[in-house]
């Protein structure tokens, strides 16, 4: 600050008085501090737009295909094929992103996925041969992992600040939950309110436009770093394979819970009741991010196992209100578990391959979701009552905890940055 010229009773008529320089203002709220980072808002908003279709495409495809063909079996087979294709193509796309940069790979990958969605709409609309539905939906497997790319930008911008990175990862997890909560609702609304293909078409537009704007924010894009000699696939990193096994079992929790809840709760109230789990997870993730530190993965998995028993208690009591509360509370263990697991993925992944490492984690989750959906569906059909299906998510959470204990996963905690 400049010197003040002040009139004094004695001495010179104008005497300089020194003032201490002001320190930059830093908001007390960690999320406000997070978005005061230069460029943060510019890439976060379009990434949210690009990520929303993740929760739309599956529901939209099922409604569209089943409505045209009258077969939910065909619709399920097509979406399952797309999920399996994504498990193969996703890590390969992420590897290209790490090697050549987000803008150079994400845009053409999103464009190809959007063309796949358009092709699926045309095939359904014109009643093309069944095999074309599988081929078209498989093309959407190139959809880039926009959540992983956003986390990679935070890791680049906040390197060296573990507490701020923890808050950023908590925000990203909350966004994931928000997209999976709003995406299916939006898709169902569009398909029912406009026309059956509306959810797929609008989802493709949101994906491509969001990725285009996101990729244009070049100032925050992580630079492409040369790979260290001997740097191999993240799968070869010590501790990565056991951690992916835990992610696989955790995914089964989500897949089983969705199918069992929809089977147990009939009518239009099923969607909002199921959304309570995502709402609880979103809220817990934001609160968890304010702490600046994370609990160990084993602790989070233990909490997940205990809380996942609450929906079964509500369903066994044949009380919709108790089930709704149980889902809300059980969801509160989801975000901390995922946040802690993703933090471990970031720490174990070799330098320069962060997108690939996080995409492997997402792929493991998707595989677990598929397995959990199958197990939950089989249980509700063969058990005496659908309430027994809620034991599958609890068993899957317990399996994840046992794997973490036996394989030595998550034995360290993230430390607060000093």
pLDDT for residue 111 is more than 60:
yes
At residue 208, the pLDDT reads: 93
CATH match of 44-156+182-221 with 1.10.287: no
At residue 41, the pLDDT reads: 86
Nearest-CA neighbor of 130 among 204, 77, 82? 77
Phi/psi of residue 16, each to 5°? -70, 140
| Two domains, one topology: 44-156+182-221 and 234-418 | yes
At residue 101, the pLDDT reads: 85
pLDDT for residue 188 is more than 80:
no
Confidence of residue 412 (pLDDT cuts 50, 70, 90): very low
pLDDT for residue 177 is more than 80:
no
Q: In the CATH scheme, what is the code of domain 234-418? A: 1.20.1250.20
Rounded percentage of the chain residues whose pLDDT exceeds 90: 16
pLDDT in tens, 338-370: 888 888 887 887 767 777 777 888 888 878 887
Nearest-CA neighbor of 91 among 127, 141, 49? 141
**CA dist 253 to 290, 356, 410, Å?**
26, 24, 19
* Annotated domain spans of the chain: 44-156+182-221, 234-418
Output the six-digit token pair for 67.
């409505």
pTM over 0.75: no
User: What is d(CA 140, CA 368) in angstroms, rounded to the nearest whole number?
Assistant: 20
Angle in degrees, CA 168, 170, 175, rounded to 5: 95
Output the six-digit token pair for 92.
């390969």
pLDDT for residue 280 is more than 50:
yes
188 and 271 in contact (C-beta within 8 Å)? yes
């Amino acid at each position: 600050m400049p010197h003040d010229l002040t009139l004094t009773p004695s001495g010179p008529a104008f005497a300089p008085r020194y003032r201490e320089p002001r320190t930059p203002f830093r908001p007390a709220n960690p999320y406000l501090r997070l978005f005061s980072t230069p460029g943060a808002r510019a890439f976060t908003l379009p990434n949210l737009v690009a990520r929303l279709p993740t929760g739309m495409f599956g529901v939209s495809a099922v409604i569209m295909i089943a409505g045209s063909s009258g077969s939910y079996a065909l619709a399920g087979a097509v979406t399952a094929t797309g999920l399996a294709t994504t498990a193969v193509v996703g890590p390969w796309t992420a590897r290209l992103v790490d090697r050549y940069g987000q803008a150079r790979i994400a845009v053409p990958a999103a464009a190809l996925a959007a063309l796949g969605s358009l092709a699926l709409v045309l095939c359904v609309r014109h009643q093309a041969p069944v095999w074309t539905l599988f081929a078209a939906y498989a093309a959407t497997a190139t959809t880039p992992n926009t959540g992983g790319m956003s986390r990679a930008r935070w890791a680049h911008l906040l390197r060296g600040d573990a507490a701020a990175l923890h808050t950023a990862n908590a925000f990203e997890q909350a966004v994931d939950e928000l997209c999976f909560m709003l995406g299916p609702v939006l898709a169902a609304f569009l398909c029912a309110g406009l026309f059956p293909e509306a959810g797929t078409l609008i989802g493709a537009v949101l994906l491509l436009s969001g990725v285009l704007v996101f990729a244009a924010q070049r100032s925050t894009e992580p630079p492409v770093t040369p790979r260290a000699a001997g740097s191999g696939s993240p799968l070869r990193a010590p501790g990565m394979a056991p951690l992916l096994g835990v992610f696989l079992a955790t995914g089964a929790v989500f897949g089983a819970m969705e199918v069992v809840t929809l089977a147990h709760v009939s009518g239009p109230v099923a969607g909002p009741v199921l959304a309570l789990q995502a709402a609880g997870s979103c809220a817990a993730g934001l609160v968890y991010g304010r702490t600046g530190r994370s609990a160990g993965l084993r602790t989070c998995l233990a909490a997940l196992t205990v809380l996942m028993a609450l929906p079964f208690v509500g369903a066994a009591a044949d009380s919709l209100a108790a089930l709704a509360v149980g889902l809300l509370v059980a969801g509160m263990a989801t975000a901390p578990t995922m946040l802690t697991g993703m933090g471990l993925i970031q720490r174990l992944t070799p330098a320069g391959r962060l997108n690939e490492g996080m995409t492997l984690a997402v792929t493991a989750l998707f595989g677990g979701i598929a397995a959990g959906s199958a197990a939950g569906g089989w249980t509700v059909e063969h058990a005496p009552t659908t309430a027994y299906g809620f034991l599958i998510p609890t068993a899957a959470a317990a399996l994840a905890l046992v794997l973490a204990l036996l394989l030595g996963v998550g034995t360290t905690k993230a430390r607060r940055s000093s």
